[in-house]
């Protein structure tokens, strides 16, 4: 099974209709999900046993961090979009403070926006690796990951390959077929 993590619910709603991938059974974590997280988790785990599931959630949502699934079903994790921190007054004030402190707008932008986005993306990828024997494939789907490649952890950076959109679709479909769709 696979999981796609998006930067926001709005972005997920925009991308989801265009995604396709009928090889998967889609499970979508919605903005106003009903039921307790444990019940939703159990429902997802049951679905994973029935074939290839593509789970859609938001980075920073209830399933992107801190929930362990039985037998760690996710062997493909996709981060679709670069998860910039939410803009607004507090973020602007923080970035302004960092600019003043470091005397550099560039450094302020790195610390306030880019590093947090990279950290959140790597944490989402970690959803597929819960212990030392786990493995998974990871896809970062946004050109900015290539731009900030040097900020990724060395183990990811060394194995990373840049793929075209058609290659991503092809590889994902092949993964679904291997996963039992």
Give pLDDT tens digits for 105-156: 999 999 999 999 999 999 888 888 878 888 888 889 899 999 999 999 998 8
Residue 41 has pLDDT above 70, yes or no: no
Query: 164 and 130 in contact (C-beta within 8 Å)?
Result: no
Query: 67 and 38 in contact (C-beta within 8 Å)?
Result: no
What is the rounded average pLDDT of the residues 20-31? 78
More confident residue, 23 or 111: 111
Q: Which of 48-57, 61-70, 77-86, 149-158 has the lowest mean pLDDT?
A: 61-70
CA 80/CA 121 separation, integer angstroms: 9
Say which residues have a Cβ less than 8 Å from residue 15's Cβ, sequence separation at least 6. 6, 80, 81
């Amino acid at each position: 099974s696979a999981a796609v993590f998006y930067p926001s619910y709005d972005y997920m709603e925009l991308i989801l209709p265009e995604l396709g991938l009928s090889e998967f059974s889609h499970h979508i974590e919605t903005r106003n999900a009903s039921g307790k997280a444990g019940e939703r988790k159990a429902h997802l785990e049951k679905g994973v046993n029935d074939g290839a599931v593509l789970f859609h959630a938001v980075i920073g949502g209830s399933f992107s961090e801190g929930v362990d699934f039985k037998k760690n079903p996710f062997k493909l994790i996709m981060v679709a979009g670069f998860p910039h921190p939410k803009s607004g007054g507090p973020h602007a004030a923080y970035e302004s403070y960092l600019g003043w402190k470091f005397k550099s707008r560039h450094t302020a932008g790195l610390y306030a926006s880019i590093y947090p986005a990279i950290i959140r993306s790597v944490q989402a990828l970690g959803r597929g690796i819960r212990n030392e024997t786990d493995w998974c494939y990871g896809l970062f789907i946004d050109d900015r990951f290539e731009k900030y490649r040097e900020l990724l952890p060395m183990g990811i950076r060394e194995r990373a390959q840049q793929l075209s959109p058609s290659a991503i679709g092809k590889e994902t479909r092949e993964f679904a077929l291997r996963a039992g769709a």
